[in-house]
Each structure stands twice: as structure tokens, then as C-alpha cells.
Amino acid sequence: MLLCQICKQREATVHFTRIINQQKVEMYVCEQCARENNDIKVNINKLLHSIMGIDNVEGVEEQPFMIKKCENCGMTVEEFNKTGMLGCPKCYEVFDESIKTMLKRIHGNVKHHGKIPGKLSGKIQEARTLNDLKTRLKHCVQNEDYEQAAQIRDKIRAIEKNKEH
């Protein structure tokens, strides 16, 4: 459960983004805090939209990712909300933020860990292996398993050396 960033007690159900000092700030708050906090001014009627990751928060100056339509296939956010279907591969970039939130809700984890198409596999596979090794190295060091850590470190070095050549 994600806790509200204001009261730190209830579950956060409202997600919004604001631009503060040219920086994108993301907030996760509960419904009650959202209602009480004048600064946020959430329109509760539009809460549902936040489930799809579409932020409909009044009083927020600018939302750079709020592109409403995919120029490639003509898909709109409204149509997506209605049908749950995207129009083309490009939609995944256009509605990136909305989809990310939705994917998190469905799959819990937003990074692909499965098959890589044959033509791309070499480079990406290498990067993925390297990433996995680094995570494992961190775990080993945390658990003070230095023998295992040394082995993993050597593997990482070998891959990185290979990359330079």
C-alpha cells in the first residue's frame, strides 16, 4: 500500500504532478488530504481519471505530458479510457505517463523481463545481465557474502572489458 505523503496514514489514491521551479514534482496523497489541502484543489469528481493516470487537477499550471491525441493514429485519451485499447505503437510514447500508472496497477512491476527480439538481443541482453549482476553484487555485499561478491565483481569486469573492445 502506498501511504499518503501528507498525513502518512491513509492509502494514497490520488496522484498528481505539478511543475515547481521548472521541476516536475509527483505527489501521492489520500482523498481526504487532497480535499482538505487547498493548495492541491482536487476536483473529486474527476478522481476516477487519476486511476488511469490522467491528472485532472485544477489549479495546476502546466502539465507537459498532457498530450490528448496521438498524431500517428488519432487515438485520444477519451477513447482509450472508454475502450482500454491503444491505437498504435506510438500511443505508448504519447500516453506514456497514463499507461505507466495503469501498468503499475495491473502488473505491479513496470519493467519488461521477458523475450528480446532476435535482432536486438545481443546488446540489450548484455545490459540486462550487467544490471542483474550489479543488483546481485549489492545483495551479497549487504549480506556480507564477500566470496560470492568477488565472483560477481569479476564477471561484471569481464563484461565491461568486453564492451570496450
Point out which residues bind another protein (CB under 8 A).
Answer: 72-75, 84-89, 92, 99, 102-103, 106-120, 124
Nearest distance from C-beta of residue 2 to another protein, angstroms: 17
Please give the C-alpha separations between residue 9 and each of 12, 14, 33, 37, 149, in angstroms, as whole numbers. 9, 14, 10, 15, 39
Nearest distance from C-beta of residue 154 to another protein, angstroms: 25
Task: Report the helix count and the strand count for the chain, using DSSP H and E.
Answer: 7, 2
Nearest distance from C-beta of residue 150 to another protein, angstroms: 27
Q: Residue 16 or 95: which CB sits closer to another protein?
A: 95
Q: Residue 44 or 110: which CB sits closer to another protein?
A: 110
Nearest distance from C-beta of residue 91 to another protein, angstroms: 8
Residues 6 or more apart whose CB falls under 8 angstroms from that of 38 comprise: none
For residue 60, what is its C-alpha cell? 495546476
Q: Residue 19 or 73: which CB sits closer to another protein?
A: 73
For residue 163, what is its C-alpha cell? 564492451
Nearest distance from C-beta of residue 11 to another protein, angstroms: 18
32 residue type, one letter: Q
The alpha helices in the chain, defined as continuous H runs, are: 31-36, 47-51, 77-83, 91-94, 96-107, 121-142, 146-164
Q: Residue 30 or 77: which CB sits closer to another protein?
A: 77
Residue 27, helix vs strand vs coil:
strand
Q: Residue 5 or 135: which CB sits closer to another protein?
A: 135
